[in-house]
Amino acid sequence: MIIAFVLYLVGIAALTVVSMRGGMTSTSEFLLAGRRIGPIGTAISAAASARSASAMIGQAGLAFMMGFQALWIVFAYTLLEYLAMLFLMGPRLRRFSSRRDAITIPEYLEARFVDSRNMLRGVCAILLVVFMVAYIVSQYVGMSFTITQVLGLPLVPSIVLAAILTGAYTTLGGYKAVVYTDVMQGCLMLTAMVVVPVLAWQTVGGLGQVWVRLDELGGRDLSGIVGSGGYAFAFGMLFAGLGAFGNPHIIVRYMAIRSVRDFRIAAFINLIFNVIISWGGIMLGLAGRVLYQDVEQLPLANAETIFFHVSLAMIPSDFLVGILWAGVFAAMMSSADSMILVVTSSVSRDLYQKIIKRGAEVAESTMVRLNRWVVVLTVLASLVLTFFMEKSALAIALFAWGGLGGALGPVVLLSLWWQRMTKWGALGGLLGGLTMAIVWRSSEVLRGVLVYEALPAFAFSLVVAITVSLMTTPPPDATLADDLRPPAGEEEDRPVQLV
Amino acid sequence: MAETMTEAPFAHWLFLYGTMILYILIGLVGLWLSARWRGDGDKPRGRKTKPPDPAAQDFTLPAN
């Protein structure tokens, strides 16, 4: 098992070296690989970054506890991420950001609304730093758990090792290293979420046996398509998908893709990847509940250990188990490295270069060095916070997904499709969505109505953004329409007549 | 008692496998549809624009 893990780390190191060929001469090169990433890299990197421990082991754990109704949670984000990449966000964001030389999400917002006071950039950058650091903490907690299982290290050295690993290749290779390693890690994730669920599913005897046994164990709450919470609970789970629009470590990939045309293939690959990972996780959890009837039978009485427990029980080869566990580790690493880059871009490009050093010329070589130092500092800060926030890592990750999805998602989406939107509307949407997410999460009464804050935050952000935009005047922007849409005469966004 | 093959309700089959197949189909349809959209600088498929025929426009007045 350790040999497999070491091989995985050697692979990471090799890809980092490859990514550094050609040097790193600019911020655009460090943060977006010079917008030269093809469709396969974009697709797998986006999916691998989006699917962290929550997909690999969290969803399996959810299915273990909730039965068939856990599947509701995957429907929305799988479809929405696909639509966001193919149509709703990808092409327009790529086109606009390259024409106006925006290489970060806050920079895109500033360029979109011609915000000369950097207000939107500053607010958005701070929002991203806070949420992304919290997200990174949750990934480090998950990674350290895997390390303790594989290498047998105690928790503290495991957390430190996780931080060093992600920090090292992100510092050296920037976005290109992140994408290259994400592709390798994505392949490992796919392997893990095909092999283990298929083995478990065959062992228990297929869908029929799973249904019968879950019905015996827990009645409708486990075997039903909807449990005792009814369709209201099921639809509530759907709204978790709204996070797909607002998570910067996913949507920044739309800005880095080589060409708008590449979204067609990228979106399809991304969808297939997500379907395999997500459905595989659910099926693993269902089969796991049949195999181990009670969560008390699992290590640490934690349903999220089902992946590790089933793979150990069913696969005789320690080396193969090590490869599969590396897949879980890879899921978290691929998410953490992308989040680290988002924090880096927000701090170095948005806050430092464009706000603090506004108007001053900062050499590209200085910026590349600064980017690397910010990566190191981000990793260190996240590491320290991990020791304090370890117990609430999952809750933090859920809030970050819903909070960002509710605050940033509607603003970016609306900005790409509604030219009447103003910077005050964007600011209102950001702050309104964030406020609603915090209020909703803090209130037990509101969470009793709808358990996840993503929908109310999303809806409130939209309402505020639209209302405030209609009450304010957008600055004149002669080329806005052209920079959002394809050049005149080319109907990229409208489908051709089929007959 | 002889063991019999247990069949899950069709609804469950649809819910688990049917949705997986549906999403893959959505992806294939999206791939096909988006291939027919015009990209940056690309001509649409099946809608070839022919350059104007110079001969059709070239007419000379009959000599009086």
The identity of residue A240, as a single letter, is A
Shortest alpha-carbon distance between residue B33 and chain A (Å): 7
Q: Residue B52's pLDDT band (boundaries 50, 70, 90)?
A: very low
Instruction: Give contacts of B 5-64 with A, CB under 8 A.
Output: 5-9, 11-13, 15-17, 19-20, 23-24, 26-28, 30-31, 33-42, 44-47
Cβ pair A184, A10 in contact under 8 A: no
Least CB-CB distance to A68: which of B12, B30, B45?
B12
Q: State both tokens at A443.
A: 């209130």
B19-36 pLDDT, tens per residue? 999 999 999 999 888 877
Residue A451, pLDDT score:
65
Residue A450, pLDDT score:
65
Which range, of A284-298, A330-344, A366-380, B40-54, averages the lowest pLDDT? B40-54
Shortest alpha-carbon distance between residue B45 and chain A (Å): 9
Is residue A375 classed as helix, strand or coil in its secondary structure?
helix
Determine the average pLDDT of the residues in B8-25.
92
Portion of chain A with pLDDT greater than 70, in percent: 93
A310-352 pLDDT, tens per residue? 888 888 888 888 888 888 888 888 888 889 988 998 998 898 8
Q: State both tokens at A201.
A: 């599913």
Residue B37, pLDDT score:
65
A235-281 pLDDT, tens per residue? 777 777 788 888 888 888 888 888 888 898 999 999 999 999 999 99
Residue A325, pLDDT score:
83
Which of A160-174, A177-191, A277-291, A484-498 shows the highest mean pLDDT?
Answer: A277-291
Q: Which of A246, A226, A221 shows the shortest CA–CA distance to A237?
A: A226
3-state helix/strand/coil string of A101-116: CCCCHHHHHHHHCCCC
The Cα-based distances of A54 to A73, A204, A281, A406 in angstroms read 11, 24, 10, 19
Cβ pair A39, A269 in contact under 8 A: yes
Q: State both tokens at A197.
A: 């669920």
Residues of chain A contacting residue B44, judged by C-beta atoms under 8 Å apart: 491, 496
Does B36 sit within 8 Å of A279, measured CB to CB?
no
Q: How many CA atoms lie within 13 A of A173 on its CB side?
A: 24
Cβ pair A60, A274 in contact under 8 A: no
User: Distance between CA atoms of A233 and A67, rounded to whole angstroms?
Assistant: 14
Q: How many CB atoms lie within 10 A of CB B14?
A: 13
Is residue A37 classed as helix, strand or coil in its secondary structure?
strand
A154 close contact with B: CB closer than 8 A: no
Which residue is associated with the tokens 């999805």?
A: A405
Contacts of A6 (CB under 8 A, 6+ apart): none
Whole-structure pTM value: 0.85
Least CB-CB distance to A490: which of B17, B30, B40?
B40
Residue B39, pLDDT score:
47
pLDDT of A389 > 50? The answer is yes
Q: Which of A2, A386, A469, A433 shows the shortest CA–CA distance to A162?
A: A386
Residue A393, pLDDT score:
67
Residue B45, pLDDT score:
45
Determine the average pLDDT of the residues in A127-137.
88
Q: State both tokens at A245.
A: 């629009």
- Using CA atoms of A221, A224, A228, A233 in order, give the dihedral in degrees to the nearest 10: 110
Q: State both tokens at A157.
A: 């050295």
Q: Residue A463's pLDDT band (boundaries 50, 70, 90)?
A: very high
pLDDT of A100 > 50? The answer is yes
Residue B15, pLDDT score:
93
Q: State both tokens at A401.
A: 């997904």
Q: Which of A274, A257, A267, A265 shows the shortest CA–CA distance to A49?
A: A274
A181-240 pLDDT, tens per residue? 888 888 888 888 899 999 999 999 999 999 999 999 888 888 888 877 777 777 777 777
Determine the average pLDDT of the residues in A24-40.
79
The identity of residue A358, as a single letter, is R
Helix ranges, chain B (H): 10-13, 19-35, 54-57
- Rounded (5°) CA angle A206-A211-A216: 130
Residues of chain B contacting residue A68, judged by C-beta atoms under 8 Å apart: 12, 15-16
pLDDT of A95 > 80? The answer is yes
Least CB-CB distance to A268: which of B31, B40, B46?
B31
pLDDT of A445 > 90? The answer is no
pLDDT of A465 > 50? The answer is yes
Instruction: Give contacts of A 189-218 with B, CB under 8 A.
Output: 205, 207-212
Q: Residue A126's pLDDT band (boundaries 50, 70, 90)?
A: very high
pLDDT of A298 > 70? The answer is yes
Cβ pair A9, A147 in contact under 8 A: no
Is residue A413 classed as helix, strand or coil in its secondary structure?
helix
Cβ pair A308, A149 in contact under 8 A: yes
The Cα-based distances of A187 to A183, A196, A235, A257 in angstroms read 6, 14, 31, 20
- Using CA atoms of A93, A95, A100, A106 in order, give the dihedral in degrees to the nearest 10: 10
Greater confidence, A38 or A213? A213
Q: State both tokens at A205.
A: 């005897």
Residue B3, pLDDT score:
41
